[in-house]
Structures are given as structure tokens and as C-alpha cells.
Amino acid sequence: MIKRISELDFLKCIFILLMIAFHLVYIGDSYPYIKNIVYTFHIPAFLIISGYLMNIEKPLSGFLKTIFWLTVPYLIMESGYIVSASFLPIREHIDNLTVDVFINKLFLKPIGPYWYLHTMIICYIVNYLFFIGFKSHRFLLSRIIVSSLVLCGLSVYWGIISLSSVFYFLLGFIIRQSSVDFLSFFKSSWMSIVGFLVLIIDPDNLDRFTIGGILITYLAISALLAIYKVLPRFISSFLNYIGNHSLLLFLFSPLFTILVKPLVGVLSFDSSGLIFLIVALIINIGGCFSVGMVIDYLGITPFIFGKSRIVESFK
């Protein structure tokens, strides 16, 4: 078990807010180039963090518990998203929802943002299978290679996970297994901002599965870590709190992303869309935490997340 790294909560906060912001169709359509920039690094960075936080030293019972409590919210939320996609006018609209289509989307090719949980579950299971009972660094490289080949096979032959997702998850996983501290690998540096700005000028770099995309991801993390160091404590604590609840925002923000759509017309006097963005983010964050508190109040959190509370007290 590694000590909780507050910087990771900060990074998760920034990346989850970016995800919500550019899932707002109006913002994504208004700023397509910025959207491409954000999509180049925010999901890869999330995958790196997820890979880094994977603990292969858990006993089998503990690992199965982790997988189970990732699978339950995934099945609930993805099922709801698939059904709603059959009647809501969204980009991933399903014209003819049948049982076969439902099963295919749920287990093989998920739609909406919940594909991320699907990817995590697969990566966790495959890696754990090849590292179960593994207590030393003996045969470390060979085990990583084999698990990588299996994940790549699932991507190439079955198409149930993307190669880029495999790459970034394994990058985080390898950093953890090499005993290199996250903050030592991703060194905070103000110069990273300069490198980041230079790279994003060229549209060819805005592909997460290219050298340019990999460098942009690294520099984005490095730059954010530099910014974190100079933030006032009350701001960093607040952002860390949000980041610590990134799963809550990830699961329920799609609901509020749909609900805030009518505000585009109400706030149309601001041609930049920034007022809409700020209001939408506030509603999303407040709404997600409200849903979490209701779930806690009703006492159903243990049946969905496997713990007593999903919303923790602010410290």
C-alpha cells in the first residue's frame, strides 16, 4: 500500500473537470481545437494514474472485492446509459435497441464515458492474473511483457479495449512496479508549460497514440504539478477534495450534462460560452455531490460502492 499522494487528487480534479467541460456539447463545438488538446492528455493521464495505483500485492479476496465494486456501478450506469441512448437525441443514439445490442454494448463495446471503468476492470484483471502471488522483482519484465501482449490481443482481435488505453495504463503500472515514485517520474517544472505550448501548436501532435501525444501528456502532468506547489492551501485542499471524489463526478456528471443543455439558450448573451461553462460546472459538481449525499442518506451506498459512505467529510 502506498501513501496517499495529495498531488494525485489534484490531478484527478483537474482532469475530471476537463472531462465534464468538454462533454458539454456547446463547449466542445465552440472550442474544437482546445477540445482536441484536452482529449490528447486528460484520459491518458487518468489511465496512467489508474495503472500506478493498481496494487498487485492485494490478496485474491481483496482484489476480487475491488473488481466487484468497480463492476457494480459500471453495470448500473452503463445499462442506464444504453437504455437512455435508445430514446435521447445524443451523439451515440441507438436506433434499434435489442437484447443482443444491449449485451454487446454492456460487455464488449460500451458507449458513453463508462468505457473507462470497463477498461480499468479488464486491465486490472489481466495484470493481476499474471502477478498473483508475485512478491519480488524476479521475472518482472517477462510478466509485464506477457500481460501487455494479452491486453494488446484483446484490443487487436476483439476490439474491446483500445491500444492507446493499454499503453497508458501499463505505463502507470510499470512506473509503480519499478519502485519509482510518481512525483520523481513526473517532475514538476514551469518549463513544461513552454514545451506544452510548443507541441500543441502542431495539430499532428494532438493524437494520444503518437510521440507528440505522449510528450504532451507528460508535460501537462509536469506543468500541473508545478502549479500545485504555488496554490494557496485552502484552494489546493478544496481541489483535492473534489479529486478524491472523482468517481462520484465521473458516474453522475452525464446526467447533469444533459440537464444543463437548456442553459445554452438562457446564457446566449455571452458569445464566448464561458459563463455557461462556469454555471454548468457548478451545477455538475453540486449535483453529483447531492446525488452522493442522497445515496448515503438512503443507506444504499454499501450496495453500490461497497463502503459506508461515498461522500467523505471535508478536512
The percent of residues in the chain predicted with pLDDT above 90, rounded, is 78
- State the amino acid at position 103 in one-letter form: I
| Euclidean distance between CA atoms 9 and 125, whole angstroms | 24
Average pLDDT of the segment spanning 144-153? 90
Which pLDDT band holds residue 41 (cuts at 50, 70, 90)? very high
Q: Please determine, for residue 138, whether its predicted confidence score (pLDDT) is greater than 90.
A: no
Residues with Cβ within 8 Å of 225's Cβ and at least 6 positions away in sequence, in order, are: 7, 11, 183, 186, 187, 188
Q: How sure is the predictor about 133, in pLDDT bands with cuts at 50, 70 and 90?
A: low
Residue 284 scores a pLDDT above 90: yes
Sign of CA dihedral 85, 89, 93, 97: positive
* 114 CB burial (10 A radius; 0-12, 13-18, 19+): buried
pLDDT cut 70: percent of the chain above it: 97
- What residue segments make up the domains of the chain, in order of their start? 1-30+232-314, 31-230
Instruction: Please tell me the least confidently modeled range out of 15-19, 34-38, 113-117, 156-160.
Output: 156-160
User: What residues contact 96, with CB distance under 8 A and at least 6 apart?
Assistant: none
Query: Model-level pTM?
Result: 0.93
Q: Are 187 and 222 in contact (CB under 8 A)?
A: yes
Q: Are 192 and 222 in contact (CB under 8 A)?
A: yes
**Crossing angle between the packed helical segments 211-230 and 6-23, to the nearest 10 degrees:** 120
pLDDT in tens, 60-96: 899 999 999 999 999 999 999 999 988 877 778 888 8
For residue 95, give the C-alpha cell.
Answer: 436506433
Residue 287's pLDDT is 97
Average pLDDT, the chain: 92
- pLDDT value, residue 306: 95
Q: What is the pLDDT of residues 160-219, one digit of tens each?
A: 999 999 999 999 999 998 878 999 999 999 999 999 999 999 999 999 999 999 999 999
Given a cut of 80, whether residue 1 has pLDDT beyond it is: no
Give the per-residue SS3 of 95-150. Answer: CCCCHHHHHHHHHCCCCHHHHHHHHHHHHHHHHHHHHCCCCCCCCHHHHHHHHHHH
d(CA 244, CA 9): 5
* Integer Cα distance of 9 and 14 in angstroms: 9
Residues whose CB falls within 8 Å of the CB of residue 58, separated by 6 or more in sequence, listed in order: 66, 128
